[in-house]
Structure 1
Amino acid sequence: MNIAIFGGSFDPPHTGHELIVQKALEILDIDKLLVVTTYLSPFKESFCAPAPMRQRWLAKMFEGMEKVEIFSYECDQKRQVPTIETVLHVKHLYKNAKIYLIVGSDSFTALPKWNRYDELCSHVEFVVAPRGAFHPPEDLKILPINVNISSSKLRSFLDRRFIPKSIENEVMAFYTRNPMDSRIERIVTALSDKKAEEIQVFDMTGKDYFVNTVVIATTMGERHGLSLLDHLKTELKGAGESFLNVDADDNWTVIDMGDILIHLMTPAYRQKYNLELFLKEREDEMKKVRGVE
């Protein structure tokens, strides 16, 4: 089996990524192309869009492309994962597979800085997608394209021409969204308007948690949580917010907005599970790890 791996931050995905995948499928003799979203790059401290949201965008972009798989290994680890680790994991899953590793020309020139670079070279054949001026070695596989857009530039100068149509509205809404304080204020106001009680907001930024902010509110009864959910959808979707996943229940409803998690709980469930204590303990654990205490 021949497998290509194409990894990146995809923060956000753009038409250049789309073209790279299309050309790789045309040029390379492969059975599968794994698109790997990094949870956190070794060369960055954070991303703008949370990992589940970036993976969801990619899934929509490449929907219907039979050989393309959104490979969640790195995001599942919830930590920085060096490329060599991902490659070895793929080789464990697909015994004796030939692995192509697709990288941009800027990444290719920086390869010697990568974790266990020599070992990586022994396991993969590199395929380069040029961007700008690039003078490759003669024996290097090159995709016949030149991608002159980067995710960082796209975040700074949002241009719809470079955002795939399938995710255009979601991407534009996310990167032009209101600052976090305004978003939280809108959520709290919407909950208060519909009689939610004991609303608490927990800032989890930098605490090794999978979202930046957690909102917990107490409902007045079993059906009230579902009513609050409907009201939040009405109030927030018009403001460009995305509901990535909703687990709705009479006693406990969880709303995943990518970087914000909302818990709507009956009084009995809130007392029983005591999420506030868990989140406070998480904060204390991270303080100890960082030597703050």
Structure 2
Amino acid sequence: MRIGILGGTFDPIHLGHINPALDVKQQLNLDQVWLMPNHIPPHKNTTMVSSLHRLEMVKLVCEHYPEFQLCDIEIKRDTTSYSVTTLTLLTQQYPQYEFFFIMGMDSFIQLPLWYQWQSLFSLCHIALCQRPGWTIDTHSEMAKQLLLRQAYVSDNDQSKHGKIYRIDSQLIDISSTEIRQRLHQHTDTQSVLHPSTRAYIEQHQLYR
């Protein structure tokens, strides 16, 4: 199976996560996309709501999209979640699967700061979504990696890892931080949150 992996704090999960993941699944002909909420992310100090609430919001989204499946491997972990550790475990657990790690250009540019980032290329492909306002320095290490590893679905490449696929996605220029501000200020979030997420947030009075 060809599996996309989208990790994040999902605090809260929003259409800026959902829409690109659907685009990745379609353009790379994936069987599923696994949504993987973090418990203790290495690049953020804390989350605004509990792991339980974030997990439940992702579960609700998965119930509405048959393309998605919840992956709770990280949120059950009591230690910091490093992507290379998680992908090592997943490739051991599902050796027959081909994994595509989904990330935005903002994360891709920062990849050299990640723990053992080079090892990611021996575990998965990267599905790279361009985020509004983010460009890559043509002289940077990641520009070199992109030039070296860029691939296309039409290539019919048989490699199970190590390639970078650029995804043409209509991304929403919104962040979870901005959405939390809207919720706090009681301004409109209809265009950026799935109805199930809005209903859950309202029910539990989150981000107020």
TM over 0.5: yes
Who is 1:128 aligned against? 128
Deviations 1:215-251 (A, max 9, x none): xxxxxxxxxxxxxxxxxxxxxxxxxxxxxxxxxxxxx
Query: Which residue of structure 2 aligns with residue 12 of structure 1?
Result: 12
- Which residue number in structure 2 is paired with residue 169 of structure 1? 199
Q: Which residue of 2 aligns with 1:147?
A: 172
User: 2:20, 2:169 within 8 Å by CA — same for their partners in 1?
Assistant: no
Cα contact 2:23–2:167 (8 A) shared by 1: no
Q: Cα RMSD over matched residues?
A: 1.7
- The CA deviation at 1:153 is 1.5
Shift of 1:135: 4.1
1:17 offset after TM fit, Å? 1.2
Residues 166-202 of structure 1: CA deviation (Å, up to 9, x unaligned): 12132242111xxxxxxxxxxxxxxxxxxxxxxxxxx
Letter in 2 for 1:80: T
Identity %: 23
Q: CA deviation at 1:78?
A: 2.2
CA distance in 1, matches of 2:13, 2:64: 17
The one-letter amino acid paired with 1:149 is: I
Three-state SS of the structure 2 residue aligned to 1:174 is: coil
Aligned ranges for residues 61-100 of structure 1 at < 5 Å?
61-100=61-100
2:189 alignment counterpart: 160
Structure 2 Cα separation of the partners of residues 164 and 98 of structure 1:
29
Contact 1:129 / 1:147 at 8 angstroms: preserved in 2?
no
Please say if residues 10 and 151 of structure 1, whose CA atoms lie closer than 8 Å, have aligned partners that are also in contact. Answer: yes
- Could you tell me how far 1:107 is from its partner in structure 2? 0.6
Higher relative contact order (CA 8 A, sep 6+): 2
Residue 81 of structure 1, CA deviation: 1.2
Q: Which has the larger displacement, 125-134 or 69-78?
A: 125-134
Divergent runs of 4+, >6 A: none
Distance of 1:143 and 1:122 partners within structure 2: 24
Q: How does 1:142-291 map to 2 (within 5 A)?
A: 142-158=167-183, 159-161=188-190, 162-172=192-202, 173-176=205-208
Q: Report the counterpart of residue 56 of structure 2 in structure 1.
A: 56
| Counterpart AA for 2:53 | M
Q: How far apart are the structure 1 equivalents of 2:64 and 2:11?
A: 22
The Cα of 1:69 is off from its aligned counterpart by: 1.1
Q: How far 1:25 sits from its partner (Å)?
A: 2.2
1:83 is displaced (CA, Å) by 0.2
Structure-1 separation of matches of 2:168 and 2:62: 19
Match of 1:271 in 2: none
What does residue 26 of structure 2 align with?
26
8 Å CA contact 2:12–2:54 kept in 1: the answer is: yes
- Match of 2:39, SS? coil
Contact 1:12 1:151 in 2 (8 A): yes
Structure of larger gyration radius: 1
CA distance in 2, matches of 1:155, 1:6: 20
Q: Aligned with 2:206: secondary structure?
A: helix
The TM-score normalised by the length of structure 2 is 0.78
C-alpha distance in 1 between matches for 2:41 and 2:47:
9
Q: Please give the alpha-carbon distance, in whole angstroms, between the structure 1 residues aligned to 2:32 and 2:75.
A: 19
* Counterpart in the other structure of 1:37: 37
Unaligned runs of 5+ residues in structure 2 are 137-145, 151-164
